[in-house]
């Protein structure tokens, strides 16, 4: 019962799909921490090897090439524990090493992934949840960054790296030609608009429906849990408005307003400069893929430049 050495993401994906090959190791780890009789249920999605240990715990196993994700998740779990009002985060129970891999055992949160119910929710409920999500982002960003500052990357270095590879990335991912033609001009604007040394706050980069939980609240829903901190870094707070803007607000004016109100941005402050910063950050995000991630039907046919795309995503 050994975990193999993994050298790239493709090997990890194949191993994750080959559950019989790694599940006995997960069972052995569970037994080592006193969970001999837990029923193991693997999660098919995600990056690392993740399995439920009964109804109360989650085991997450990281290969050595993703050691940085292990450190980020472990540090963030410690920092957020009990410090985000009204929303639960997993409680870290155990950690360890196995065959060159790292693992964490954490509590399992109540609720269902927002991705499972978002599409069926009435419009008013979506606006309420976006307001709550904005409030959650602000609450997380008020927690001191602590040890995350030492893990890096520094915001300045992150921006420089993303700018250097931005044009090639979006050309590869099929950004419409009319936007690709204006991308370098947008990046030059970004150099002047985006702070390179802002007060560092905790950034998950992934406030999207797959990464937070919701629970019934009377006749409606509320945001109940937040998880998955492998890609956390520190930097400029507005960066974390991108996921909910693209995936959930999706150009609906009232949804956009609800998200920003929850975050603490007054209507008068939602000016062109703020939206331009967000437009630039959307192209620089480490998971940026506008063609697939902007959830506005047929949006490429509706814009001819970044000004129009900016107005489409964040309307007045």
Contact 238, 282 (CB under 8 A): no
Q: How far is CA 120 from the centre of its chain?
A: 22
Q: Write out the two tokens for 33.
A: 């921490």
294, 197, 210: which is closest to 251 by C-alpha?
294
CATH class, range 9-107: alpha beta
Q: How far apart are CA 234 and CA 248, in angstroms?
A: 23
Burial 271-286 (b: 16+ CB within 10 A, else e): eeebbbbbbbbbbbbe
| pLDDT (0 to 100) of residue 59 | 98
For residue 256, count CB atoms less than 10 angstroms from its CB and return exposed for 0-12, middle for 13-18, buried for 19 or more.
Answer: buried
Pairing state between β 101-107 and 57-62: antiparallel
Instruction: Say what the pTM is.
Output: 0.95
Q: Write out the two tokens for 161.
A: 């790296």
| DSSP reduced 3-state for 255 | helix
- pLDDT in single tens digits along all 316 residues of the chain: 899 999 999 999 999 999 999 999 999 999 999 999 999 999 988 899 999 999 999 999 999 999 999 999 999 999 999 999 899 999 999 999 999 999 999 999 999 999 999 999 999 999 999 999 999 999 999 999 999 999 989 999 999 999 999 999 999 999 999 999 999 999 999 999 999 999 999 999 989 999 999 999 988 999 999 999 999 999 999 999 999 999 999 999 999 999 999 999 999 999 999 999 999 999 999 999 999 999 999 999 999 999 999 999 999 8
| pLDDT (0 to 100) of residue 46 | 85
| pLDDT (0 to 100) of residue 150 | 95
Q: Where are the alpha helices (DSSP H) in 234-271?
A: 242-244, 253-263
| pLDDT (0 to 100) of residue 270 | 95
Q: How far apart are CA 313 and CA 273, in angstroms?
A: 14
> Which DSSP letter does residue 205 get?
S
| DSSP reduced 3-state for 51 | strand
For residue 21, count CB atoms less than 10 angstroms from its CB and return exposed for 0-12, middle for 13-18, buried for 19 or more.
Answer: middle
| pLDDT (0 to 100) of residue 45 | 84
Contact 1, 26 (CB under 8 A): no
296, 308, 187, 291: which is closest to 245 by C-alpha?
296
List the domain boundaries for the chain. Answer: 9-107, 112-313
- CATH number (3.90.1200.10, 3.20.20.70, 3.30.2350.10, 3.40.50.300) of 112-313 reads 3.90.1200.10
| pLDDT (0 to 100) of residue 100 | 96
Q: Where are the alpha helices (DSSP H) in 33-154?
A: 67-80, 123-142, 148-151
| pLDDT (0 to 100) of residue 219 | 86
Q: Write out the two tokens for 16.
A: 């994750």
Using alpha carbons, list the distances in angstroms from residue 26 to 47, 74, 98, 135, 214.
Answer: 16, 18, 10, 36, 28
| pLDDT (0 to 100) of residue 44 | 86
Contact 240, 263 (CB under 8 A): no
In the chain the beta strands, taken as DSSP E runs, fall at 40-42, 49-53, 57-62, 92-98, 101-107, 112-113, 201-203, 212-217, 220-226, 233-235
């Amino acid at each position: 019962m050994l975990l193999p050495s993994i050298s790239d993401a493709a090997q990890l994906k194949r191993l994750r799909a080959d559950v019989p090959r790694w599940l006995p190791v997960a069972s052995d780890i569970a037994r080592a921490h006193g969970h001999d009789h837990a029923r193991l249920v693997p999660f098919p999605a995600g990056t690392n090897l993740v399995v439920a240990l009964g109804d109360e715990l989650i085991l997450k196993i990281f290969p050595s090439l993703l050691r940085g994700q292990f450190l980020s998740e472990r540090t963030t779990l410690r920092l957020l524990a009990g410090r985000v009002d009204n929303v639960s985060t997993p409680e870290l129970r155990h950690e360890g090493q196995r065959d060159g891999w790292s693992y964490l055992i954490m509590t399992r949160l109540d609720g269902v992934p927002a991705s499972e119910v978002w599409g069926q929710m009435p419009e008013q409920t979506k606006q309420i949840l976006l307001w709550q999500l904005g409030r959650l982002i602000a609450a997380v960003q008020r927690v001191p960054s602590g040890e995350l500052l030492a893990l890096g990357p520094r915001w300045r270095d992150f921006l420089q790296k993303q700018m250097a590879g931005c044009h090639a990335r979006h050309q590869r991912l099929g950004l419409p030609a009319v936007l690709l033609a204006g991308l370098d001009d947008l990046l030059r604007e970004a150099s002047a608009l985006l702070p390179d040394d802002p007060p560092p706050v905790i950034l998950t980069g992934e406030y999207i429906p797959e990464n937070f939980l919701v629970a019934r609240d009377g006749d409606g829903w509320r945001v109940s849990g937040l998880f998955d901190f492998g890609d956390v870094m520190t930097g400029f707070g507005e960066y974390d408005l991108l996921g909910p803007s693209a995936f959930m607000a999706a150009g609906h004016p009232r949804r956009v307003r609800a998200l920003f109100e929850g975050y603490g941005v007054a209507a008068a402050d939602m000016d062109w400069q703020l939206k331009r910063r967000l437009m630039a950050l959307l192209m620089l995000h480490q998971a940026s893929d506008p063609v697939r991630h902007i959830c506005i039907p047929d949006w490429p046919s509706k814009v001819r430049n970044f000004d129009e795309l900016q107005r489409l995503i964040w309307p007045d």
